[in-house]
Structure 1
Amino acid sequence: MRRNPTLQETLVRTCRQQSGDLAFADSSGAEITFGEALTKSLFLTGRLKSIWRDQDQVGILLPPSVGGVLVNWAALLMGKIPVNLNYTLSKEGILSCIEQCGITDVVVSGKLMDRLGLELPVRVHVLEDLVKDPSLFEKLRAGFLARATSVESLLRRLGGAAADTDDLATIIFSSGSTGQPKGVMLSHANVISNVHQVGDVYHFVPEDRMLGVLPFFHSFGFMATIAGPAVCGFACIFHFNPMDAKVIGSLAEKYGVTIVISTPTFLQFYVRGVKPEEFAALRLVVVGAEKLPARVADSFVDKFGIRPFEAFGCTECSPGVALNGPEFNRVGSIGKVVRDLEAKIVHPETGEELPDGQAGLLQVKGPNVMRGYLGLREKTEAVLRDGWYNTGDIVRRDEDGFLWIEGRLSRFSKIGGEMVPHGNVEEVLNDLAGEGERLFLVVGVPDDKKGEQLVVLHTVDDDRLGTIIEKLNEASIPNLWKPKAGQFLRVVEIPQLGSGKVDLKAAQRIAESVVG
């Protein structure tokens, strides 16, 4: 019986079938067809062979770009597992990802590294240098492999033939409740099934052109703009800065972008900076990562004549879980669960399954649910039992099957689409204060611009607080974890319950009464 194809098999077939169609373009001026994308990826396999020889999991630190896709495709063709490193993490966070995967070599963008000012204790290979001066033999080899060999023979030569759909396609790091990056292991079957699950709702066709501004280290960026073109044959148009409305508008008009997958935060930049005629070809706008405020959706409709659909996902689900779409949409909800994905809502403490209308923990089971966390058996078992993944979200389902998020079980804020753990921010602040007692408590409150903002309740005097904030700004943690001075709120005491535990509800009320 014929087994299901892997991503590398799928991308080879798509590139050959649509060899003359536009595949990728970006703001640097790069523009290639599917046939050229395959040939260039094959050229890269030759250059990367000696670099990645002894590594199964390979490091990539590249922005959304044509070159970024080609390096990922080359890794897949070679049977490697691409690990797109999150360059918004602190240096310690990036090093943790590298160490967990045993990465010794990282392919990087020279411009990005210069901008980040980042030095890594591994061998760094600049992509701009890797592709210089191809020899005649290299060109002939890539051209021959792209056109004259069977898919099986091609992958056998490169090392990608032995892969099975249950093997890993990528590892995407997600910050968990401890703030320590966790490697989410996604198989070929996970990613490909989610492309089809999402595509069934949004009807992807080869004529589509998707705006690619989500980074590859996000599961939606990987699924939609690396795997999506390979599976569905649509083109992706990349820009490295999702807030650069001027360039994005120009690219959208030039290439006739039909699909935008983004976040509510980024949509606000487009409303302010993109001209209506530049988005004239749009047929679909999907947003996730944070709640879609009605004000943002309405302003987008007013300017561009198309309503964004709110979706919900998580890295552990490749990521699509629930979607609104052209055939069904309920404003304020996160939509309906994608096909082939079972969902149940259970009591957070007893695990008892709850009926529609009652809020509880959302758990899901299906082909897009991860294999587990890399090297973290206990953490995997804590969230994945008998195939059911615990999303950690408190959700209710209405009588028509739409899901509504009521809150979060764990204490995170989603700021501009990024997860910020309250506990870690508190730990850093209390460490900087140098005392054992709790002096700081972090809560999240709604923010029109970024979805949420942090508010820090504290009990220290102004002079001491100023010193702590100065130290915080120098700390090796992500910038999103660093509240500004105006986000600190002095209280007489940190609210506590009779049991001695922190009274989070009271803290939330205090913060919202002041900030709101």
Structure 2
Amino acid sequence: DAEIVSLDKLKEKVSLADKVIAALQATIVPSWLLDRILGLNKVQSDDLLTVIFTSGSTGMPKGVLLSNSNVSHNVDAVNRAIRLNTEDVVIGVLPFFHSFGYAVTLWAAQTLGPAGVYHFNPLDSKQIGKLAEKYKATVLLGTPTFMRGYLRRITPEQFKNLDVAVVGAEKMPADLFDAFEKRFGVRPVEGYGTTEMSPLVSVNIPPSRSAAKFQPDRVEGSVGRPLPGISAKIVSPDDGTELDADEDGMLLVTGPNVMRGYANRDDLTKTAVVDGWYTTGDIAHIDSDGFLHITGRLSRFSKIAGEMVPHVRIEEELGKLLSEGDDDDQVRVCVTAVPCDRKGERIIVLHLPTSQTPDSLREGLKAAGLANLFIPSADSFYEVSEIPLLGTGKLDLKGARDRAGELTMASC
């Protein structure tokens, strides 16, 4: 029953008189008076600014309530980390329904001084390359999935002015750092965040923007240190006790960017945020220098015969095996699990059509050094016509789990 307002229709209602009045207000009317005319003087920092829905990769999407101060803190954090200036041109390709795109490519780009150049489809590499070349883009923010597409379809000439590339939303494959730098002369840095944290929690500082002289501010493989004002700790998923440096456990974060809560779901809010600390659902550790290392999501581990088996580790190796000799950037495999009475869970592999047999893929996993417990059985490989993906390019984990259940009928 929500009213839908289409922006392309709305623009037709803006008359010449509206434009003239707006121009006069912007150039002649004092800012303090304009604040009062527009009612901006009544806006409070804790007022609701937006509702951003979680991706729903692991279940039903939740509406995250973010205030003015939540997003304002993130804008300030971007300014400190990336040090955007009036000489920068930010390529905005992340969708605004995604918190990364909303807070960074929309608000940070519009308030910190750089120019912003936008395109609605992050997968349209051809057009993005043209825009980057035409407007001399210096800053690119995206996901590893999108970056692979740019790597294959955008020329070095089109990205010749690129100075900063920041990736988030999913883990950056190790080979992508080298490949991107080799082609475009810019080494990407990785950051981390969640919609509930508005979204940035931490980021590695791009080499060209680093002011560090006496300590590192970038460690590849990590997602950087928590941004100013944000605290992080690692606790045991079993009993909640705080763990030491380099010990994997559940990541909890707190700071002024913690959401106001979930829309109409106080029950979920009370579970997610306890004493001001947000439970991320991510398994991670903090090294002795304070850098965060994300191991995976709790939902992306299976407990088999008492051991925690990481889906991402299996997925990474299978991805290498399945992409050998191919030149495209398709997501070819997804690892998930179904219930199993005998072992608790059973690892399931969904993959695109391939000439390789399950046995050859299992041998490849063994050659990569994976433990026997990590290697799915031959009857756990299922060929599918497409891998379940969300609009952001991330794996649709719930969709993959449901599909695996259909294929196996949850048998073991």
Tell me if TM exceeds 0.5.
Answer: yes
Structure 1 length normalisation: TM-score? Answer: 0.59
Note the C-alpha offset of 1:411: 4.7
The residue identity in structure 2 corresponding to 1:233 is G
- Cα distance in 2 between the residues matched to 1:410 and 1:492: 20
- Cα distance in 1 between the residues matched to 2:269 and 2:401: 35
2:368 aligned with 1:368: no
Q: Report the counterpart of residue 153 of structure 1 in structure 2.
A: 33
Note the C-alpha offset of 1:410: 2.8
Question: What are the residue-to-residue correspondences of 1:376-395 with 2, within 5 Å?
Answer: 376-395=265-284
Q: Report the counterpart of residue 464 of structure 1 in structure 2.
A: none
CA contact (8 A) 1:214 1:242 kept: yes
Q: Report the counterpart of residue 218 of structure 2 in structure 1.
A: 329
Aligned with 2:164 (options 284, 299, 307): 284
2:235 aligned with 1:346: yes
2:329 aligned with 1:453: no
Once the two structures are superposed, residues 166-200 of structure 1 have per-residue CA deviations (whole angstroms, 9 ceiling, x without a partner) of: 11121101145872221111111111111111221
Once the two structures are superposed, residues 94-120 of structure 1 have per-residue CA deviations (whole angstroms, 9 ceiling, x without a partner) of: xxxxx6xxxx32222xxxxxxxxxxxx
**Which structure 1 residue ranges, 4+ long, deviate > 3 Å from structure 2?**
133-136, 175-178, 447-452, 454-459, 478-495
Once the two structures are superposed, residues 127-148 of structure 1 have per-residue CA deviations (whole angstroms, 9 ceiling, x without a partner) of: 3332226444323322222222
Number of aligned residues? 331
Task: State the secondary structure of the residue aligned to 1:105.
Answer: coil
- Cα distance in 1 between the residues matched to 2:222 and 2:159: 25
Q: Report the counterpart of residue 356 of structure 2 in structure 1.
A: none
Aligned with 2:291 (options 402, 413, 435): 402
Note the C-alpha offset of 1:485: 13
Structure 1, unmatched stretches of 5+, are 1-98, 109-126, 413-421, 423-442, 460-468, 496-516
CA contact (8 A) 1:185 1:371 kept: yes
Task: State the secondary structure of the residue aligned to 1:321.
Answer: strand
The residue identity in structure 2 corresponding to 1:399 is S
- Cα distance in 1 between the residues matched to 2:410 and 2:288: 44
CA distance 1:228–1:485, change in 2 (3 Å): closer
CA contact (8 A) 2:336 2:401 kept: no
Q: Report the counterpart of residue 105 of structure 1 in structure 2.
A: 3
CA distance 1:371–1:491, change in 2 (3 Å): closer
CA contact (8 A) 1:314 1:391 kept: yes
2:81 aligned with 1:201: yes
The residue identity in structure 2 corresponding to 1:252 is A
2:151 aligned with 1:253: no
Aligned with 1:274 (options 154, 164, 170): 154
CA distance 1:357–1:452, change in 2 (3 Å): farther
CA contact (8 A) 2:235 2:251 kept: yes
- Cα distance in 2 between the residues matched to 1:351 and 1:306: 40
Task: State the secondary structure of the residue aligned to 1:446.
Answer: helix
CA distance 1:450–1:290, change in 2 (3 Å): farther
CA distance 1:314–1:492, change in 2 (3 Å): closer
Task: State the secondary structure of the residue aligned to 1:330.
Answer: coil
Q: Report the counterpart of residue 213 of structure 1 in structure 2.
A: 93
CA distance 1:452–1:398, change in 2 (3 Å): farther
Structure 2 length normalisation: TM-score? Answer: 0.73
- Cα distance in 1 between the residues matched to 2:288 and 2:22: 55
Q: How much is the aligned-residue C-alpha RMSD, in angstroms?
A: 3.1
Note the C-alpha offset of 1:150: 2.9
- Cα distance in 1 between the residues matched to 2:34 and 2:275: 38
CA distance 1:378–1:490, change in 2 (3 Å): closer
Task: State the secondary structure of the residue aligned to 2:237.
Answer: coil
Question: What are the residue-to-residue correspondences of 1:6-45 with 2, within 5 Å?
Answer: none
CA distance 1:406–1:451, change in 2 (3 Å): farther
Task: State the secondary structure of the residue aligned to 1:351.
Answer: coil
Once the two structures are superposed, residues 297-349 of structure 1 have per-residue CA deviations (whole angstroms, 9 ceiling, x without a partner) of: 21111111111101111001111111112242222111111111011111112
CA contact (8 A) 2:99 2:198 kept: yes
Task: State the secondary structure of the residue aligned to 2:228.
Answer: coil
CA contact (8 A) 1:171 1:186 kept: yes
The residue identity in structure 1 corresponding to 2:172 is L
Q: Report the counterpart of residue 21 of structure 1 in structure 2.
A: none
2:124 aligned with 1:239: no
Task: State the secondary structure of the residue aligned to 2:141.
Answer: strand
Task: State the secondary structure of the residue aligned to 2:4.
Answer: strand
CA contact (8 A) 1:265 1:451 kept: no
Once the two structures are superposed, residues 351-395 of structure 1 have per-residue CA deviations (whole angstroms, 9 ceiling, x without a partner) of: 111111111111111111111111211111101112111111111
CA contact (8 A) 2:167 2:188 kept: yes
Q: Report the counterpart of residue 224 of structure 1 in structure 2.
A: 104
2:245 aligned with 1:356: yes
CA distance 1:401–1:143, change in 2 (3 Å): same
- Cα distance in 1 between the residues matched to 2:135 and 2:154: 15
CA contact (8 A) 2:338 2:401 kept: no
CA contact (8 A) 1:173 1:182 kept: yes
Note the C-alpha offset of 1:396: 0.7
Q: Report the counterpart of residue 501 of structure 1 in structure 2.
A: none
Once the two structures are superposed, residues 425-445 of structure 1 have per-residue CA deviations (whole angstroms, 9 ceiling, x without a partner) of: xxxxxxxxxxxxxxxxxx775
Question: What are the residue-to-residue correspondences of 1:32-181 with 2, within 5 Å?
Answer: 104-108=2-6, 127-132=7-12, 134-175=14-55, 179-181=59-61
Q: Percent identity?
A: 42
- Cα distance in 2 between the residues matched to 1:296 and 1:150: 50
The residue identity in structure 2 corresponding to 1:251 is L
Question: What are the residue-to-residue correspondences of 1:186-197 with 2, within 5 Å?
Answer: 186-197=66-77
Once the two structures are superposed, residues 188-219 of structure 1 have per-residue CA deviations (whole angstroms, 9 ceiling, x without a partner) of: 11111111112212111121111100000111
CA contact (8 A) 1:454 1:487 kept: no
The residue identity in structure 2 corresponding to 1:295 is D
Structure 2, unmatched stretches of 5+, are 211-216, 303-310, 320-329, 341-383, 389-393
